[in-house]
Chain A
Amino acid sequence: MSEPSPKTAGSIHVSVHQDAPIRLDADFSCAPGEITALIGPSGSGKTSVLRCIAGLLHPSQGRIACGDRVWLDTERGIALSPQTRRVGLVFQDYALFPHLDARDNVCLALGHLARNKRRRRAAELLAQVRLAGLDRRMPGELSGGQRQRVALARALAREPAVLLLDEPFSAVDQMTRRKLQEELARLHREIHIPILLVTHDLNEAAVLADRMVVLSHGTTLQSAAPDEVMNRPAHRGVARLVGQRNLFSGTVKGPAPASPGKLRLDWAGLELTVDDPGTWPPGTEVDWLIPASAILWQRPDRPTAGDSENPVDGRITELLVLGDNCAVTFALNTPDGQELHFSLPVHVVRRHGLMAEERATVSLLAAGIHLMQVNSKPAVQYSN
């Protein structure tokens, strides 16, 4: 039994749909050499989607194809078994075989090799995940991070056409997590197959992934590059899921006369200039957001270039030191007291003696403001 080398592996295309017992309505793709992160709150169906790809769960409708192989096609009655799918799956709790040592855990997944080659290959794989010398340790004698590496070596043993990682860093401490994340980034350069990473950690997804697929209640809300998902979410629902706090409603008033290509936006009586590529007819009610990074505090002593953009007056209502940064809550001078959230480096706060209840002005950068359709259907948005 010879299996094609992973270099010939192609993209994976996933489309799974069902109503019960778990609602699934997910569509996405992942190219070889790409890490796609499936993100969403717990219970959003991320793990179920992975299980569908591995063949451990059969959705009532769907099609899953990897390269030129169709693994699942409910219309044509195709549903390959997990054994025939060439999937490398790292379980959340690793699911190592507890009665076998590290080497034999890997050997068992090397059934496609001749018997006398398995041990050598297992040793190579364990060395690849930096576990050389620990071959004969039982899973119970390994630390969490080491167990995770054994699970990874076992998943890679089959020369998988796709690597599936289910919350791989959730059960290890912060230090180990950083190390394992770095190693995943390294592995990502070494193996040219699609890698799907399930996580509920947005930062992890943003750092590691080339693409993010946002799932909620089993439904794909958006599939795009991390920066796009974080800063230009498809709608209010995604914005909330990715933790955007500066989320407001407004009305498009029309083109900005002085700056071509820009729009005027009415926000509770304030007029903002917005640089949004979308076409928004005047009078359209929109949801909009501004990432914390596009809010600039105006230093009273030294105005900067950004100060001319959408200056907004108000007062600082709360200053919270979180590590090197200070989380700032800023209330507008409008009657309904809308709040903006952004952060400032602690040294800036100290140098200027910023305090709560202090009057201040901030700039909302026009390029950072992102408009979204109100009540837009959670339709899939593909963009690169």
Chain B
Amino acid sequence: MDWDAFSLSLELAAWTCTLLLPLATLIARWLAWHRFRLRGFIEGLIALPLVLPPTVLGYYLLVAFSGNSLLGGMYEDLFGQTLAFSFEGLLIASVIFNLPFAVQPLQRAFEAIPQNVREAAWCSGLSGIQTFRRIELPLAWPGAITALALTFAHTLGEFGVVLMVGGNIPGETRTAAIAIYDRVQAFDNAAAGAMSALLLALSFLAIGMVFVLGQRRRVYV
């Protein structure tokens, strides 16, 4: 059992959620309440990780992270290390491939808030931020929980992108999913089995939470 890999996976999932949820909230609100010409295009771009083979996404990210590219070069100049094969690179990749899992539930949740409820809040004297905190967020809460659970579970299980971008560096980029693959390659079926069972339990817990909360979601009139 590779506990290092597990703690790295949990750390990656926690950081991904921390960075992605605020970002996804901004994007989701923007998409939910604004109509503009490129909307469909942007929604498609965000949904792309759902259908793109992880290795393809991983390949392009690897290219973008290399010292020769603009992003990778800038990062190297600033921090003196490459993005590729680092935890930070893995985190950026993780945020990108989780975009649809976080944005879509949030967008549906914000879309379900009637426009005039927000207007009523403004007319009651609530500022934009107060309206977000007191009205929008409580009403979109189930969507936020779904986004959180899906992002968390999906990060724990992602394999292809992580292998392409992070490689397999113990303590830096070797996540649980990679470690399972590693153990199978080494014919250590006992460890692979134990880790698989744990990942299965965690994933089931996360997805179960989404459905339980979905059932319990209050029906407002």
Segment from B53-61, B102-110, B123-131, B172-180 that makes contact with A: B123-131
Are B125's CB and A158's CB within 8 A? yes
User: What's the Cα separation between A83 and B125 when bound, in Å?
Assistant: 4
> For residue A93, which residues in chain B have a CB less than 8 angstroms away from its CB?
116
B139 at the interface (CB under 8 A from A): yes
User: What's the Cα separation between A98 and B118 when bound, in Å?
Assistant: 11
Are B134's CB and A108's CB within 8 A? yes
User: What's the Cα separation between A383 and B116 when bound, in Å?
Assistant: 35
Are A82's CB and B123's CB within 8 A? yes
A112 at the interface (CB under 8 A from B): yes
Return the CB mask of A71-103 against B: 1 if under 8 Å, else 0: 000000000011101011101010111110000
Are B123's CB and A87's CB within 8 A? yes
Segment from B8-16, B30-38, B40-48, B213-221 that makes contact with A: B213-221
Taking the closest CB of chain B, its distance from the CB of A156, in whole angstroms, is 11
> For residue B218, which residues in chain A have a CB less than 8 angstroms away from its CB?
99
User: What's the Cα separation between A109 and B130 when bound, in Å?
Assistant: 11
Are B135's CB and A97's CB within 8 A? yes
Are A56's CB and B125's CB within 8 A? no
> For residue B220, which residues in chain A have a CB less than 8 angstroms away from its CB?
98-99, 138-140
Return the CB mask of A112-132 against B: 1 if under 8 Å, else 0: 100000000000000000000
A49 at the interface (CB under 8 A from B): no
Chain B binding surface, main DSSP class: helix
> For residue B188, which residues in chain A have a CB less than 8 angstroms away from its CB?
none
> For residue B123, which residues in chain A have a CB less than 8 angstroms away from its CB?
54-56, 82-83, 85, 87-89, 155
Taking the closest CB of chain B, its distance from the CB of A196, in whole angstroms, is 14
A154 at the interface (CB under 8 A from B): yes
> For residue B219, which residues in chain A have a CB less than 8 angstroms away from its CB?
140
Are A139's CB and B221's CB within 8 A? yes
Which of A97, A138, A140 is within 8 Å of B117, CB to CB?
A97
> For residue B124, which residues in chain A have a CB less than 8 angstroms away from its CB?
108-109, 111, 154, 157-158
Are A83's CB and B221's CB within 8 A? no
Taking the closest CB of chain A, its distance from the CB of B213, in whole angstroms, is 15
Are A81's CB and B122's CB within 8 A? yes
> For residue B120, which residues in chain A have a CB less than 8 angstroms away from its CB?
89, 91, 95-97, 151, 154
> For residue B134, which residues in chain A have a CB less than 8 angstroms away from its CB?
97, 108
B171 at the interface (CB under 8 A from A): no
> For residue A89, which residues in chain B have a CB less than 8 angstroms away from its CB?
119-120, 123
Nearest-CB residue, chain B, relative to A112:
B125
Are A99's CB and B138's CB within 8 A? yes
> For residue A99, which residues in chain B have a CB less than 8 angstroms away from its CB?
138-139, 218, 220
Are A91's CB and B116's CB within 8 A? yes
User: What's the Cα separation between A362 and B114 when bound, in Å?
Assistant: 55
Are B116's CB and A109's CB within 8 A? no
> For residue B130, which residues in chain A have a CB less than 8 angstroms away from its CB?
111
B74 at the interface (CB under 8 A from A): no
Given the known interface contacts A99-B218, A99-B220, A140-B221, the answer about A83 and B117 at a Cβ–Cβ threshold of 8 Å is no
User: What's the Cα separation between A82 and B123 when bound, in Å?
Assistant: 5
Which residues of B, 125-174, contact A by the 8 Å Cβ criterion? 125-127, 130, 134-135, 138-139
Are A56's CB and B119's CB within 8 A? yes
B64 at the interface (CB under 8 A from A): no
User: What's the Cα separation between A29 and B116 when bound, in Å?
Assistant: 26
Q: List 12 A-B contacts (CB under 8 A).
A: A56-B122, A81-B122, A91-B116, A95-B117, A96-B120, A97-B117, A97-B120, A97-B121, A138-B220, A140-B220, A140-B221, A155-B123
Q: Which 7 pairs from chain A and chain B are nearest by CB?
A: A98-B220, A109-B124, A140-B221, A95-B120, A95-B116, A82-B122, A89-B123
Residues of chain A whose beta carbon lies under 8 Å from any beta carbon of chain B = 54-56, 81-83, 85, 87-89, 91, 93, 95-99, 108-109, 111-112, 138-140, 151, 154-155, 157-158
Residues of chain B whose beta carbon lies under 8 Å from any beta carbon of chain A = 114, 116-117, 119-127, 130, 134-135, 138-139, 218-221
Contacts A55-B122, A111-B126 known; 11 new A-B pairs at CB < 8 A? A82-B122, A83-B125, A95-B114, A95-B116, A96-B120, A98-B220, A108-B126, A111-B125, A139-B220, A139-B221, A158-B124
